[in-house]
Amino acid sequence: MAKAQEGNRTISQLDKTIPTNKRVIAWPRMGNIDLSMEALVSSIGAKIVMPPPNNKEALEIGVKNSIEGICLPYKLNLANYVMSLEKGANTLMMFQAPGSGNYTKMAQKTLKKMGYKFDMVVFDMYQSKMKQTLKAFWHVSHCLNPYRYYKGFSTGFNKAFAIDTAERLLFYIRPRELNKGDAESCYKKWYKIIHDTTSVLGCKGLKKRIIEDFKKIPIDKNRIVPKVYLLGEFFVLLDPFTNQEIEKTLGDLGVEVQRQIFFSDWLEHVLQPSIFYKKESHRQRCVRYAEDYMKRAIGGECIETVGDTVYGARNGIDGIVHIMPFSCMPEIVAQNILPKVSKNEDIPILELVLDEQTGKAGNITRIEAFIDLVKRKKMRQINNKKEEN
């Protein structure tokens, strides 16, 4: 049996002493993952406890109970678990990628030392895929109804595609809108609609309706808007508390953010069998473009960070903002490669390292200076083209 690890245990070795009807499920907060997870877990009949969105209180709990030097995502994940267990959760879910296995074991050990009793179900998303994912959900629900699984995965996937579509449109329209705040209001409206939609048919129609609604927002199509890739570690990219709402900061400065990792893209290529891929995956593209600078993936999003930087530089992107948690080894490797990429590919790069000590005001000052540089470079390019013509 392929492993979906809890430590080194297979799913068949997980805790079966908790009666199915007594299980209460929780998972860490990370961006908009809750829209999909809640739809899936509730569809198979499991009870759910949701910790509050990541905030200062969660950060304090995480810091208090973590070893010094551990990364910010771990601290917040641990806090989410503590807050969920305090609210009655007894089954914790964890999505694990290469390089994060030790964090899972560490969280389990810490929580048990704190006196909590629970079952942890870990999805090793780069090894287990759909078969083991279904086994994990069977473990926590014992649901026998195939339609419930179909409904859960269908609504969950379509909610992920819908909210990511809304985010992409928000990033595009925010720096171009004529009436400040229109795009943000539209996004918040659709977030609630996506959350409240429960039918399969309703979820399938969300994406088209979102696109049509955002098109109604008046924008300045002639405004010169620099395009910046936002790259880095998965968690800090997706969680607005952790990244200090950097996407909004960049948008308000007149920049179109093009974040290169979205939950729906990752979900689709991790769970969907490769024979159904209709095009080159994001990861495959990154490996190809990173080849001149690194020969193999080393875990985390390191190769994506390098590959996306090269791709962006060669495809008209004006700048790169690389964000990472302090002490994240894969991103530290990428951080040391990026100066060479910046020089060879002629693209400016801003590095932002985040932990609980990071002040937002200081980062905003650095971001403003970087965007000023990016805008001046873009204007020079535009003027040079005019002179050539």
Per-residue pLDDT band for 269 (boundaries 50, 70, 90) equals low
Same domain, 233 and 382: yes
Q: Average the pLDDT over 353-378 and give the result.
A: 91
Proportion of the chain above pLDDT 90, given as a percent: 66
Residue with tokens 């890739």: 229
Rounded distance, CA 68 to CA 42, Å?
37
Which has more pLDDT, 271 or 212?
212
Pull the structure tokens for residue 109.
């050990």
Rounded distance, CA 14 to CA 369, Å?
51
In this prediction, residue 127 carries a pLDDT of 56
Rounded distance, CA 168 to CA 337, Å?
28
Same domain, 99 and 210: no
Same domain, 210 and 258: no
Which has more pLDDT, 3 or 342?
342
Give the chain's domain count. 3
In this prediction, residue 97 carries a pLDDT of 60
Among 244, 232, 307, 264, CA closest to 168: 264
Q: Do 230 and 31 form a contact (C-beta atoms < 8 A)?
A: no
- In this structure, the dihedral spanned by the alpha carbons of residues 110, 112, 118 and 122, taken in order and rounded to 10 degrees, is 40
In this prediction, residue 312 carries a pLDDT of 97
Q: What is the distance, to the nearest Å, from the Cα of residue 72 to the centroid of all Cα atoms in its chain?
A: 14
Residue with tokens 């290169």: 260
In a domain, 197, yes or no: yes
Same domain, 207 and 240: no
Per-residue pLDDT band for 304 (boundaries 50, 70, 90) equals very high
In this prediction, residue 129 carries a pLDDT of 60
Q: What is the CATH number of the domain that holds 292?
A: 3.40.50.11900
Q: Do 41 and 152 form a contact (C-beta atoms < 8 A)?
A: yes
Q: Are strands 47-48 and 256-259 parallel, antiparallel or unpaired?
A: unpaired
In a domain, 147, yes or no: no
In this prediction, residue 299 carries a pLDDT of 81
Per-residue pLDDT band for 357 (boundaries 50, 70, 90) equals confident
Q: The dihedral of CA 144, 146, 148, 152: what is its sign?
A: positive
In a domain, 369, yes or no: yes
Rounded distance, CA 344 to CA 360, Å?
31
Same domain, 329 and 186: no
Same domain, 215 and 309: no
DSSP states of 192-209 as a string? HHHHH--SHHHHHTHHHH
In a domain, 168, yes or no: yes
- pLDDT for residue 274 is more than 70: no
- pLDDT for residue 52 is more than 60: yes
Which has more pLDDT, 126 or 8?
126
Rounded distance, CA 376 to CA 348, Å?
12
Rounded distance, CA 112 to CA 57, Å?
21
- pLDDT for residue 3 is more than 80: no
In this prediction, residue 295 carries a pLDDT of 86
- pLDDT for residue 125 is more than 70: no
Among 272, 155, 175, CA closest to 220: 175
- pLDDT for residue 13 is more than 90: no
Question: Which tens digit of pLDDT belongs to each residue from 199-213?
Answer: 999 999 999 999 999
In a domain, 245, yes or no: yes
Same domain, 339 and 372: yes
In this prediction, residue 272 carries a pLDDT of 62
Mean pLDDT score of the chain, rounded to an integer?
Answer: 88
In this prediction, residue 60 carries a pLDDT of 95
Same domain, 78 and 191: no
Question: Which tens digit of pLDDT belongs to each residue from 72-112?
Answer: 999 999 999 999 999 999 999 887 665 555 778 899 999 99
Q: Average the pLDDT over 269-293 and give the result.
A: 79
In a domain, 97, yes or no: yes
- pLDDT for residue 12 is more than 90: no
In a domain, 2, yes or no: no
Question: Which tens digit of pLDDT belongs to each residue from 156-201?
Answer: 999 999 999 999 999 999 999 999 999 999 999 999 999 999 999 9
Same domain, 229 and 374: yes
In this prediction, residue 9 carries a pLDDT of 47
Rounded distance, CA 73 to CA 236, Å?
7
Q: What is the CATH number of the domain that holds 55?
A: 3.40.50
Alpha helices of the chain — where are they, by DSSP H?
33-43, 56-64, 72-86, 101-113, 129-141, 146-173, 182-196, 200-204, 206-214, 234-238, 246-252, 263-271, 282-289, 302-313, 329-345, 360-388
HEC profile of 113-172: HCCCCCEEEEEECCCCHHHHHHHHHHHHHCCCCHHHHHHHHHHHHHHHHHHHHHHHHHHH
- pLDDT for residue 6 is more than 50: no
Q: Roughly how many angstroms between the first and final C-alpha of the chain, as a whole number? A: 64
Q: Do 331 and 300 form a contact (C-beta atoms < 8 A)?
A: yes
Cβ count within 10 A of residue 345 = 18
Domain that holds residue 188: 154-173+176-221
In a domain, 133, yes or no: yes
Same domain, 238 and 346: yes
β-bridge mates for residue 353, sequence order:
324
Least confident of 7-11, 21-25, 110-114: 7-11
Same domain, 276 and 204: no
Same domain, 108 and 182: no
